[in-house]
Amino acid sequence: MKKAELENLQNLFFLGPKGEQRKFFQEMIELINNDIIFWRRNFHPKDPPVIPYRNLTSPIGQDYQENFIQSLVQLLAELKMDIPFFSPRYMAHMTADVSLPGLLGYYAGLLYNANNVSGEASPVTLRYELEVGKQFARLFEYNDKESFGHITSGGTVANFESVFYNKAARFIPATLGMILKQKNLPWPSFLPKDLWKLLNLKLCEIPSLLNEFRDLDLDLEKSIQANSPAYLGDREYWHQLQSTFKTTIGQPVIIVPATAHYSWSKASHLFGMGKVNCLQVKIDSNLAMSSAEFGEVLNYCQNEKRPIIQTVCVLGSTEFGSFDPLDEILNILKEREESIYSPVHIDAAYGGYFKAMFVPGPRYAEFAHEAGLKNARLQEIFSCVKDTDSITVDPHKLGHTPYGAGLFLTKHGFSKEFIAEEADYCLTSQEANDEDFPLGKYILEGSKSGASATSVYFSNKIIPLNSDGYGGLLQDLISKTNEFYDLLNRSNMDDREFSAEMEIIPVSLPQSNLLCFYLKPKSMKSMAKINDFNLKILHNYFPHPTDHIQDFSYFISKTKLKVDKITDSEKSKIFSDLVIDSDALQLLRIVLLNRWSHVPSGNGLDYMTDFLNRIKSKSLEYHRESQKKT
């Protein structure tokens, strides 16, 4: 009974593939429109209108409106050639229909056009943004008073900010030691004298270290700033540091899994580190970071004295939806903490919302327990997130809010003071409260929309971050993905015509709501030929220029599994019986973000079965064509 009730509630979160909730949607749009007009008319109501009514009915007014309407109709016609993300037929990328609270919250916020750079331009929506940061801090079990989180334009900028923050805070102890030596000040007993040890003090130890230094005769903040990498530049900073301590230290690095989003390569470029210093850890047959390989990379960094700015663990990889073994990575770092240290940043741009599955809501708490039983490994991984240092999450993915809404969250809120920039005209707070918080002082972006913050804030209010809201939605999507995985495997056994000539091969068990697979004729062993075969199939379901969007029955995406990204010991599990004559295996990729993927389509079959029948039919057609040619 409760299951059916929850499913009915989840349906109401969306407008619907056919606009089923159009009446409610139109009523809410009208409510918002009436409210903004009411607000305008009642702000100093004695002020007279400034656009005379006769202007609207004049020849120039009528021409303006006619042109406006014609141009708008043309715009709307062109937009209908865009991708139908709302349809169960779309399963290509990490984007789907926007939820009603996400859409209406954004629209309401948009009409006020707040700029969340500071409280002067956004006293209300800035408060929403900071509250969203605290909501996610509580979700991931950070201290919501000591942490700091805010909305970004997307996961890429949130990932950049993790480097920005950690680069600024990681080397404060070494900077303090350099200042003491350069000024010939007495060395305090609480500070290690060895440079390598200073470079490996934990972020959580820095606040107490700074408090100890405040008792010394030193203008602390100004001294740190004047001797920081940000002020001196990386090259001069590391030169002065090594000269002062009379020792050699290797260049700092970032450690990422081979599945890392391309933003990490961008970050190493952007922050002047060099892409060569973004060290990739190979993946195992689960398509996740190999903990054994991670240990080897740590050995290298320790032996070569390469300070680690941060280690990135991906929870929900862009390509495969896989989750790095966070518990194993944290255990390895704990075992090595006396000799080497690394903060851990969680790139959960895609997968962060899955944590909500395990948080009991007040109405449907039992489904959080059920999610834990069905997804024990995932729950185990998310239970360790509280022991990490910073997180990226994208509400515009699994949060179903409009673009662009990412989120950066750091456990170490103190670190924001070491990247702060002043601007007297707008970034100086008058009061110590959220409404007057100078957010732009602490972030990479400048002007930023209050509408995104409003959208995420309102979404979290209507669709809570627990089993009553997002948790229930995501548990349902994982179940549907597992059903599709079973459907793929049954095709190799139950469909005699297909299985006599062809096979369909998922590259791994689904870990979330994303699945990668490839098709091949049974006799085909060459990876290069398999790649060509799958690209030919893909052309039918991959967006390309067309006069009619209706030409596509379904939309899917593609990716590659690169051979050199996988550990040598695991390659045979993935590429068994294949001749490796290409550097990568071409995969078909589906992301099940639409909750109606298993309801009947126009021909009576559910969308997943219909899609699978079509793709199997195409593969048989292409295989038989190629046999005739040979």
Name the DSSP letter for residue 191. Answer: S
Does 428 score more than 60 pLDDT?
Answer: no
Lowest mean pLDDT among 56-60, 195-199, 471-475: 56-60
Q: What's the CA gap between 77 and 529, in Å, rounded?
A: 41
> Which pLDDT does position 630 carry in this prediction?
66
Q: What's the CA gap between 614 and 69, in Å, rounded?
A: 41
Does 425 score more than 50 pLDDT?
Answer: no
DSSP letter for each residue of 286-329: TSSB-HHHHHHHHHHHHHTT--EEEEEEEBS-TTT--B--HHHH
Q: Span 501-528, mean pLDDT? A: 95
Asked whether 502 and 621 are in contact (CB, 8 A), the reply is no
Does 322 score more than 60 pLDDT?
Answer: yes
Q: How far is CA 381 from the centre of its chain?
A: 17
Q: How far is CA 442 from the centre of its chain?
A: 20
Q: In which band, very low, low, confident or very high, does the pLDDT at 433 lie, cut at 50, 70 and 90?
A: low
Q: What's the CA gap between 521 and 501, in Å, rounded?
A: 6
Does 511 score more than 50 pLDDT?
Answer: yes
Does 629 score more than 80 pLDDT?
Answer: no
Q: Span 167-192, mean pLDDT? A: 93
Q: CA-CA distances (angstroms) from residue 302 to 65, 256, 501?
A: 69, 16, 53
Q: What's the CA gap between 100 and 24, in Å, rounded?
A: 10
Element (H, E) at 502: strand 502-506
Q: Please give the single-letter amino acid code of residue 429.
A: S
As separate numbers, helices (DSSP H) first and strands (DSSP E) second, the chain gives 24, 11
- Greatest pairwise CA separation for the chain in angstroms: 87
Does 468 score more than 70 pLDDT?
Answer: yes
Which residues face 313 on adjacent strands?
346
What residues contact residue 223 under an 8 Å CB cut-off, 6+ apart? 179
Q: What's the CA gap between 569 and 291, in Å, rounded?
A: 13
Q: What's the CA gap between 365 and 379, in Å, rounded?
A: 15
Q: In which band, very low, low, confident or very high, does the pLDDT at 628 lie, cut at 50, 70 and 90?
A: confident
Q: How far is CA 542 from the centre of its chain?
A: 23
Q: In which band, very low, low, confident or very high, does the pLDDT at 422 lie, cut at 50, 70 and 90?
A: confident
> Which pLDDT does position 266 carry in this prediction?
93
Q: Which of 154, 162, 142 is nearest to 355 (CA)?
A: 142
Q: CA-CA distances (angstroms) from residue 362 to 13, 434, 469?
A: 18, 28, 11
DSSP letter for each residue of 529-584: HHHHHHHHHHTTTS----S-GGG-S-B-EEEEEEGGGB-GGGHHHHSTT-B--SSE
> Which pLDDT does position 207 carry in this prediction?
94
Q: Which two tokens stand for residue 223?
A: 């001294």
Q: How far is CA 394 from the centre of its chain?
A: 4
Q: Which two tokens stand for residue 533?
A: 């075969």
Q: How far is CA 490 from the centre of its chain?
A: 33
The string over 553-582, giving b where at least 16 C-beta atoms fall within 10 Å of a residue's C-beta and e elsewhere, is ebbbbbbbbebebbbeebbeebbeebeeeb
Other CB atoms within 10 Å distance of the CB of residue 4: 8
Q: In which band, very low, low, confident or very high, does the pLDDT at 421 lie, cut at 50, 70 and 90?
A: confident
Convert the pLDDT of each residue in 542-565 to its tens digit: 876 666 778 889 999 999 999 999
| Share above pLDDT 70 across residues of the chain, in percent, rounded to a whole number | 97
Q: CA-CA distances (angstroms) from residue 609 to 389, 392, 506, 557, 597?
A: 43, 35, 16, 18, 9
> Which pLDDT does position 424 carry in this prediction?
52
Strands (E), 323-480: 344-348, 390-393, 406-410
Q: Span 142-163, mean pLDDT? A: 96
Lowest mean pLDDT among 259-268, 357-366, 421-430, 450-459: 421-430
Q: How many CA atoms, within 13 angstroms, populate the side-chain half-sphere of residue 509?
A: 7
> Which pLDDT does position 426 carry in this prediction?
46
Does 217 score more than 70 pLDDT?
Answer: no
Q: Span 116-124, mean pLDDT? A: 88
Top mean-pLDDT range of 116-120, 218-222, 570-574: 570-574
Q: Span 533-543, mean pLDDT? A: 90
Asked whether 317 and 354 are in contact (CB, 8 A), the reply is no
Other CB atoms within 10 Å distance of the CB of residue 242: 14
Q: Span 591-609, mean pLDDT? A: 95
Which residues face 572 on adjacent strands?
none
Examine residue 109 and say whether the peptide bond preceding it is cis (omega within 30 degrees of 0).
Answer: no
Instruction: Count the helix, strand and coil residues of the chain and give each as a percent rounded to the nearest 5.
Output: 50, 10, 40
Tell me the average pLDDT of the chain.
93
